[in-house]
Structure formats: C-alpha cells, structure tokens
Amino acid sequence: MLSSSFMIEHKNPVAASTVENNGGVLAAIRVLTPLSIIVPTYQEVQNIPILLRRIDQLRRDYALTLEVLIMDDQSDDGSVQAVEHSGFEWARIIVRDGPRGLSPAVLDGIRLSRYPVIVVMDCDLSHPPEKIPDLVLALETGQQFAIGSRYVPGGSTDDRWGFFRWLNSRVAVLLARPLTNTKDPMSGFFAFRRSELAKARSFNPVGYKIGLELIVKCDLENVAEIPIHFANRLHGESKLTLKQQLLYLQHLRRLYLHRFIYFSAAAQFAVVGASGVLVNLAVLTAALWFGLPPALAVAAGIAVSVVSNFLMNRRFTFSYARSENAWRQFAGFLGASAAGMAVNYATTMFIAARFVTLPLQVAALCGIASGMLLNYTINQFIVFRRRMGHD
C-alpha cells in the first residue's frame, strides 16, 4: 500500500538536494510522494497546454511521481486533442457524461485517481502549480488538509480584481465562518490524503466549492493555509455566474444542516410552522370573503396550512427524504401533527390548572412549544428518518 510521505536520502522527511541547471546549481526538494492532480475543466483548451507544461517543469524539478486527470464536462473545443498532443504520458483527459459541474467532476476524478495524495486545482492558471510541493509538505507535517490561500499573510489576489469581486469573495467566506475557521475555505486549490475520505458518509455538493464540502463532511480541523498569489485567468471566460452564487447559498444550507443537524432542522421546522400560520390566516380570510360559513372557512385554513407545512418541510427541512413515498410520509405527518396538537392541548390545560395566576396565553405558549417539539421529534426520527447514504 502506498504511503503519503516525503522520502529523501537518509530517510529525512524533507531535505534539499542539488541539481544542475544550465551550468548553475539549483537547490530543490526531491518529493517522492505519488500525487494525483485533479483538474476540472470546461472549455479551457487554451489553458490546458500551458498548465501541463508548468506541471511537467515541476515534475522534473522535484522528481515527482504523478498523474494528472483532466475532468472535462464535454467542452467539445479541442481539449481532448490538446491533452493527447501534449506528449505527457502522465496526463489523461476524461470526458464526463454525467451532470456537469465542478464539484461532481472533482469527485469523479477522485474516484478514478490512484495515488494516496490528491491535489485539486483549476485549469485557468489562477492557481500556481509551483505551490503544490508546499501543500504536500503541509500534509506531511501533520495537517489533514492544505489550502492554497489568498487571505493569509503572503497571499494575494490579482491587482485587476474589482471591489465587487473582492466583496463577493469576502462575504462568501464570512457566511462559511460557522463551518470552519479557515480564512479561505472558498479556495479551489487544495491537497489532502485519500484516507481522509473514509470519515465522510456521503458527498452531495452543489456548485463549485468542493473544498468546503470536504472540510465539513470529513470533519477536518487541522487545515493548513499556504499563501499563494491568485492570478486572473489567462484565457477564456470566468465560470462564476449569479447561478453559481445562488448554488453556493444552497450548498451552505446543506452544510449547515450537516454540521448543526438538529438545531438547523428544528429552526427550519419552526419557520415552516410560522409560515403555516400565515397560510392558515390567508385561506381563512379568502374563504370568508367568498362567503363560506365560518366553520368551513376555519377548516379550509387548517387543511391548506397542514398541506403547505408538509410540502415545505419535505422540500426544505427534511429534503434528504424526498426520495421516499410522499403519501406514506403525509400520513405520518398528519399523525405527528395530531399528536402534537394533543400534547399542546394537554400541556396548556395542565399549566392553566396548576398555575391559576398565569394568563392563559402563557400556558398556551408552553403548550405550543411542547406540541411543536413532539411534532418535530416524530417527523425527524420517524416520518422523515434519515437513512444510510443520505446527507
């Protein structure tokens, strides 16, 4: 079995050897750790040859054993030919036929890779491949994950970055702060040991922040940040669109649910319940306006709000269970709601009888809270129970 290590003369983890370079002497670290470099691409034909040449220079300077997997999302722009004509036997391109996207492409590349240390980077030349040895060295010193970071001392971004791009990046980092204290969790340039993947039950990223997904799902706390200069892409167009930014928010929601599963789900359940009150009142008002009898209008408000609550909880609070039978879940939801209402009523009446000086509204609030807690518990662990493989 391959091990992740730097192996130099005399078994030192890291040492400098000297190599001739055009008549001069160049100090270099010989890195014998086999690496799999995953590069997701879409219409990057102009950048691919440049990136491969820079990696080849790195390979020769550091005596690297490596493979480069170009994971292409059906660019149909000559990318396949660019890799084939490069002449580098350690580079191959895989044209994916599944759903397009940076994160799925990276996960496919990881599955197809063979070496114990994995490096992920973009193809647009914004990530300097010359920093790969520093990332791998950080792993060798005991870190679980190593990031090429723009936001640590020594890191920088291109001078042509505009204010709004800088602000967008900073806000994205701030939103992820409860998930990790890493200063640049948005980075798409990182390295990790394959063995770390065993800590995660499943991956389901959306958008392009696969690094953040790995940090959270694999519960990685020791994250090294290696300063890099983040350059503007050399050729082609940026893939960062409004759609990608919205997908990032969706991704964050999933990761919050994973990291703070019970608190986040309970908060969503409460928000959905509050929305049900609004739906109830809106339907009740509309029914009265159309001339329905009060008893029927009240029943209509309750019925529509129950259906609304079920659909919203199934879509958001317990989204992982949407593949299960909806009618069976609806029946369970109704049962949980009935049990919650019964507990609500019993708790309210008990508190009102025991503490006669309390306003009835206070007793009712206690009843609502206890009923909602029971309702949520039944839905979380029975109706929408989490099965293995869902996350």
pLDDT digits (tens, 9 = 90+) for 46-55: 999 999 999 9
In angstroms, the CA 270 to CA 250 distance is 19
pLDDT tens digits, residue range 215-261? 888 889 899 999 999 887 666 566 556 666 677 777 777 787 777 66
DSSP alpha helices (H): ranges in the chain? 48-62, 79-84, 102-112, 132-140, 163-176, 210-217, 242-259, 261-289, 294-312, 326-354, 360-378
Query: pLDDT category, 143, cuts 50, 70, 90?
Result: very high
Model confidence, pTM: 0.66
pLDDT tens digits, residue range 168-222? 778 888 888 888 888 998 888 999 999 999 888 778 777 668 888 898 888 898 9
In angstroms, the CA 367 to CA 230 distance is 56
In angstroms, the CA 380 to CA 315 distance is 14
Please give the C-alpha separations between residue 58 and each of 3, 19, 55, 64, 269, in angstroms, as whole numbers. Answer: 21, 13, 5, 8, 52
Q: How far is CA 76 from the centre of its chain?
A: 28
DSSP string across 35-87: EEEEEEESS-TTTHHHHHHHHHHHHHHHT--EEEEEEE-S--SSHHHHHHTT-
**Secondary structure of residue 317 in the 3-state scheme:** helix
